[in-house]
Amino acid sequence: GAGVSQTPSNKVTEKGKYVELRCDPISGHTALYWYRQSLGQGPEFLIYFQGTGAADDSGLPNDRFFAVRPEGSVSTLKIQRTERGDSAVYLCASSFQPSSYEQYFGPGTRLTVT
Amino acid sequence: RKEVEQDPGPFNVPEGATVAFNCTYSNSASQSFFWYRQDCRKEPKLLMSVYSSGNEDGRFTAQLNRASQYISLLIRDSKLSDSATYLCVVNRGSTLGRLYFGRGTQLTVWP
């Protein structure tokens, strides 16, 4: 079956611009996660959704970052006034339930802020 | 202090070698433990969970020492296809679903 998909696969933007990153989880998965991975580091948690609501957004680095999941399926991560330090691979994952041990990751969106 | 600490390597071993990776975690409340594998420029994928009694999956053996807050992964009879980054991962019960990743240990198996 289809896995987690993310679009775009690559995004280059100028400092100060706004970007949106999209995630399509596996059908039927209620839990959705966003992580950010910088070069040479492991993924770092940003936010997780259970259904439509953000159950834990404690990993968002500041108020320039925001995420939504209005219908409990597709999620969008939004970054305002991008900075060069935001450059990273943004990974989305989903699991059947939050307590499910296996999270299935999408291929990521590589964001480059110039 | 980072939640999960790993030696980044790199480890370069010949085919057929046995190699071991270790990691430590800082929060004693951690409840679930995993090894994920990540190929170059690809997403992480679950390799195996780690249980208190230790567990084995083919050539891979994982061990957990809760007292020392230490997790290990042993790979026997290394294959070229084992070349990847291995991520040590923990989950605290209090933060349901959220995973804490180490920075990963890079392994290259050469012929």
Provide the pLDDT for residue A47.
96
Q: With an 8 Å Cβ cutoff, are B96 and A99 in contact?
A: yes
Provide the pLDDT for residue B94.
63
| Residue of B22, B73, B66 whose CA lies nearest to B47 | B73
Q: Confidence band (pLDDT; 50, 70, 90) for B82?
A: very high
Q: What is the mean pLDDT of residues B84-101?
A: 87
Residue A53 at interface with chain B, using a CB cutoff of 8 Å? no
Preferred mutation among B98, B100, B103, B106 to probe A, highest tally of A CBs within 10 A: B98
Q: What is the mean pLDDT of residues A19-29?
A: 96
What is the spatial order of strands in the sheet that A75-79 belongs to?
A5-7, A19-24, A75-79, A65-68
Q: With an 8 Å Cβ cutoff, are A41 and B49 in contact?
A: no
DSSP tag of B94 = T
A49-108 tens-digit pLDDT? 999 999 899 999 999 999 999 999 999 999 999 999 999 999 999 998 766 668 999 999
**What is the DSSP track for A58-113?**
TT--STTEEEE-TTSS-EEEEE-S--GGG-EEEEEEEESSTT-SPPEE---EEEEE
Q: Confidence band (pLDDT; 50, 70, 90) for B47?
A: very high
DSSP H or E stretch at residue A53: strand A53-56
Residue B34 at interface with chain A, using a CB cutoff of 8 Å? yes
Token readout for B3 is 């939640």
